[in-house]
Chains A and B, each alone.
Chain A
Amino acid sequence: MSVTHDDDELAAALRGLPREVETPLRLEDRVIRSLRVEGLVGRPGWRRWARSTIGLAAGIMLFLAGMAVGRRTMIASATEGRYFVLLLYEDETFREGEGLVADYTAWARGVAEAGHRVSGEKLALKARLLGARDTVVYVEPRDVTTTEGVLAGYFVVQAKSYEEAIAIARAHPHLRHGGRIVVRGIEPT
């Protein structure tokens, strides 16, 4: 290819430039994540996933009702330490299965009996999502997701250290059902 000073040839040379280039691999994932956050696309099988989420939310609700020891604090104890939040995520691989409610209840009872304060809340399925750039409000983003999946519920536990909180979380049946748990310390105020 030669590039000349002639307008037509220059235009032809420009028109002949490659029209495509390999895109950065991270770009596709980044775009997908942004679209998920805005509720513009859902993960494959999101309808099934949403149904599963309903099941889990119901499970947490039953767990809370079943304990019936106050809405937030299930069992008071003398254990001192920090508080940690266990964020329960699930994606399309989550297996609701049988005995979910019993499993969660048994876990919470075990944690409480070991002397840790534990509480939990169910998260409603309806949410409002506010975008950072434009203010966007979605009435029913049932599949609001992060890279970890959809946030289906949470527990707050008291533990002496991060390691102990992780050990408590590791025993949670949510993991056996295919979910993921994010453990984060709550900053004392």
Chain B
Amino acid sequence: MTDADVADRELAARVMGERDEAAFRALYRRHAPGLYRFALRLSGGLAMEAEEVSHDAWIRAVRALPGFEWRSGFATWLRAIAVNCWRELARAAAKQGTALELVNPAVLDSNLGAIPARVDLERAVAELPPGYREVLVLHDVEGFSHDEIAGLLGIESGTSRSQLFHARRALRRALAGYREATS
């Protein structure tokens, strides 16, 4: 167990035992930037959607803290919750016929303007179809294994592999397109 895990665990214990708001804020500030970035990528750069996902994930995480067995790190667990929140939100949006906004790369990476390749990469990820994007972000960006992704998304690990293959191919195609457009 790392020092970070110990710190997370101590803060979580104070949240559960004393409903300590200061401890929660400390836990939040340790993980919110990572969770929000993750949510932003999952949602294809939609800031409002990422905020909803982050908010719901935190609330569910605190509700579920007593049952968390710390077999994974807190950040990983939080992302797993966020994936479910995002899928529910996406399903609800699809049901209501809510049109997704166009991706604004500036929202994705307003602080990375000096690194165009990264901006292109972020943009290409954001423009992937949601199913591809989900697996690619989980596997290639966040480092989840195919088995973990399968468990999270309720799919076979072979499906996760296949989705990743297609996602990478679509990503390469998009990047090539950007490069042609700017050359």
Interface set of A (CB-CB < 8 Å, partner B):
1-3, 5, 7, 10-11, 13-15, 17-24, 27-28, 30-32, 34-36, 38-44, 46, 143
**B121 lies within 8 A of chain A by Cβ:** yes
Select which of A2, A31, A39 is within 8 A of B55 by beta carbon: A31
Distance, CA A13 to CA B172, complexed state (A): 12
B62 pairs with A40, CB closer than 8 A? yes
A-B pairs with lowest CB-CB distance, top 6: A20-B33, A14-B140, A21-B37, A41-B21, A23-B36, A42-B19
Contact with A41, one of B20, B55, B117 (Cβ below 8 angstroms)? B20
Contact: A24 with B51, CB < 8 Å? yes
Question: Which among A15, A18, A21, A27 has the highest number of chain B CB atoms within 10 Å?
Answer: A21
19 additional A-B pairs beyond A17-B118, A41-B15, beta carbons within 8 Å, are A1-B117, A5-B172, A5-B176, A10-B171, A17-B122, A19-B37, A20-B33, A20-B34, A27-B36, A28-B29, A32-B21, A35-B21, A38-B63, A40-B19, A40-B63, A41-B20, A41-B21, A42-B21, A46-B19
Q: Please classify how large the interface on chain B is, using the bins under 10, 10 to 19, 20 to 34, 35 or more.
A: 35 or more
Known: A15-B143, A18-B112. A2 touches B15 (CB 8 A): no
| Contact among A2, A11, A41 for B62, CB-based, below 8 A | A41
Which residues of A lie under 8 Å from residue B24 when comparing CB positions? 32, 35, 41
When A and B form their complex, what is the total count of cross-chain residue pairs whose Cβ atoms lie within 8 Å? 108
Sample of 11 A–B contacts (CB below 8 Å): A10-B171, A13-B117, A15-B143, A20-B37, A23-B33, A24-B51, A31-B54, A31-B58, A43-B21, A46-B19, A143-B19
Does B36 lie within 8 Å of A35, measured CB to CB? no
> Can you name the residue of chain B whose Cβ is closest to the Cβ of A13?
B121
- Write the B83-111 contact mask toward A (1 if CB under 8 angstroms, else 0): 00000000000000000000000000101
Known: A1-B115, A42-B19. A23 touches B32 (CB 8 A): yes
Taken together as a complex, chains A and B put the C-alpha atoms of A40 and B19 apart, in Å, by 6
**Bound-complex Cα distance A21 to B51 (A):** 12
**Given A1, A20, A39, A43, which contacts B118 in the complex, CB threshold below 8 Å?**
A1
A97 to B109, CA, bound (A): 53
Q: How far is the CB of A155 from chain B (nearest CB, A)?
A: 30
Q: By the criterion CB–CB under 8 Å, are A24 and B47 in contact?
A: yes
Nearest-neighbour CB distance to chain B for A29, whole angstroms, equals: 10
CA distance A188 to B74 in the complex (A): 52
Most buried by A among B18, B112, B140, B175: B140
CB distance from A134 to the nearest CB of B (A): 9
Interface check B161, CB cutoff 8 A: no
Q: A1-B115, A14-B136, A19-B37 are in contact. Are A31 and B168 (CB under 8 A)?
A: no
- Flag if A23 contacts B54 (CB, 8 Å): yes
Partner of A28, one of B25, B136, B141: B25
- The CA of A2 and the CA of B143, in the complex, are separated in Å by 21
Contacts of B171 in A (CB 8 A): 10
Query: Is there contact, CB below 8 Å, between B33 and A21?
Result: yes
Which residues of A are found within 8 Å of B136, using beta-carbon distances?
14
Q: What is the bound-complex CA distance between A155 and B112, given in angstroms?
A: 55
A2: chain B residues within 8 A (beta carbon): 117
B120 interface residue (CB < 8 Å to A): yes
Are A35 and B59 touching (Cβ within 8 A)?
yes
Minimum Cβ distance to chain A for residue B51 (Å): 6
Assembled-state Cα–Cα distance A40/B176 (Å): 49
CA distance A39 to B63 in the complex (A): 10
